Structure formats: C-alpha cells, structure tokens
Amino acid sequence: MEIRNEKFIRNKISDSPNVVVLSSKYDCLVCRDYVVDTLSPVFDLDQYGHVEFYELEDDMIFPLNRTDPTLFIYKHGVLQSLSSGALPQSEIYVLLDRYYG
C-alpha cells in the first residue's frame, strides 16, 4: 500500500475503477498495527491485483468527524463503503469480495 497525498488519491479515484483508501494518522499506533497485521496481508493477495490500495496520512481537505483508521472503498469513482475503526480481517475480505470479487 502506497502512502500518497489527497490530491494524488482524488485523481486516482476519478481515473481508476477500483480504489481503496485508508485514512489514518502517522502517530496513530492502532493504525500502524492495523496496516501491518491486518491490511497488508490481505492487500498483497493476487486475487486483489486489480485493486489499487493507498494510504492517506495527511489531514483531509474536507475532514470527516471520524475515527482512525477509516477505510474508503471506491468503484468507478463512487464511494461504495466507508468503515471507521479497525475492522477484523474477515470483514475486509467480505467488503473486497462484495465490490471487487
């Protein structure tokens, strides 16, 4: 998963059919463990090779009142799912298979 800025990610969402964005904070310890232990093993699977995964650590231009980490799932530029907090790995599989399976 690449760490990118919001401008880059917004362009990718517009241009790419399958984009997942994790919004987190650099100093969020839960986020660091979540990325390494839960998300990276899922995102590295070949079955999701057609999905682009990005992490946003910057403050958002239009911030949401949310909990870190927040997972945004986009399909053809449209937000399909927004999940706040650290989801279990099994739920990540369910979401990815639902939208990109």
Q: What is the pTM of this model?
A: 0.89
Give the tens place of pLDDT for each residue, 49-74.
999 999 988 776 665 656 678 899 99
User: In the CATH hierarchy, which top-level class contains the domain 2-100?
Assistant: alpha beta
Which region holds residue 77: left if phi is over 0, alpha if psi is between -120 and 50, else beta?
left
Could you give the percent of the chain with pLDDT greater than 70? 91
